Chain A
Amino acid sequence: METLSYRHKARERAAGSKSLAIIGVVASGNLEVLVERVLPDTQCQVDINTAAVGFGAVWEAVIADFVARRSPGGLKLSINDGGARPDTVALRLAQAVRLIEEDEE
Chain B
Amino acid sequence: MNPSKPEAAVEPIVLNSKIVSWYEASARQRVRLMLDAGSFQEFIGPEQREESPHLQVFDLPTQFDDGIIVGRGRMAGAPVFVAAQEGRFMGGAFGEVHGAKLTGLLRAAREVASLAVLILFDTGGVRLQEANAGELAIAEIMRAVMEARAAGVKVIGLIGGRAGCYGGGGLIAGCCSALAVSEQGRISVSGPEVIETNRGVEEFDSRDRALVWRTMGGKHRRLLGGAEAFVDDTVDSFRNIALNLISAVPGFGPDILKAEQARLEQRLQRFGMCADAVDIWKAEGVADTEAVPAMAAADFNDLANKAREPRYDAR
Query: Which residues does A use to contact B, with CB under 8 Å?
Result: 1, 20, 22-27, 29-30, 32, 34, 36, 49-52, 55, 58-59, 62, 78, 80-89, 91, 95, 104-105
Contact of A25 among B37, B47, B63 (CB under 8 A): B63
Bound Cα distance A95, B2 (Å): 20
A51 contacts B61, CB within 8 Å? yes
Contact of B11 among A23, A82, A86, A89 (CB under 8 A): A23
| Residues in A whose Cβ lies below 8 Å from that of B107 | none
| Residues in B whose Cβ lies below 8 Å from that of A104 | 38
Which of B3, B8, B64, B86 is most buried by chain A, counting CB atoms within 10 A of its CB? B8
Contacts A81-B1, A86-B3 hold; do A50 and B47 have CB atoms under 8 A apart? no
| Residues in B whose Cβ lies below 8 Å from that of A87 | 8
A29 contacts B9, CB within 8 Å? yes
Is the contact region of chain B dominated by helix, strand, or loop, or is it mixed? loop
Please give me the residue from chain A that is nearest to B28 by CB atom.
A22
Q: How many interface contacts (CB-CB < 8 Å) are there between A and B?
A: 91
Bound Cα distance A20, B88 (Å): 22
| Distance between B31 CB and nearest chain A CB, rounded to angstroms | 12
| Residues in A whose Cβ lies below 8 Å from that of B10 | 88, 91
| Residues in B whose Cβ lies below 8 Å from that of A58 | 1, 3
Is the contact region of chain A dominated by helix, strand, or loop, or is it mixed? mixed
| Distance between B47 CB and nearest chain A CB, rounded to angstroms | 6
| Residues in A whose Cβ lies below 8 Å from that of B61 | 1, 26, 49-51, 80-82
Q: List 5 A-B contacts (CB under 8 A).
A: A1-B59, A20-B47, A29-B7, A29-B9, A86-B3
B46 contacts A83, CB within 8 Å? no
B63 contacts A89, CB within 8 Å? no
| Distance between A78 CB and nearest chain B CB, rounded to angstroms | 7
Contact of A34 among B46, B56, B89 (CB under 8 A): B46
A24 contacts B11, CB within 8 Å? yes
B2 contacts A83, CB within 8 Å? yes
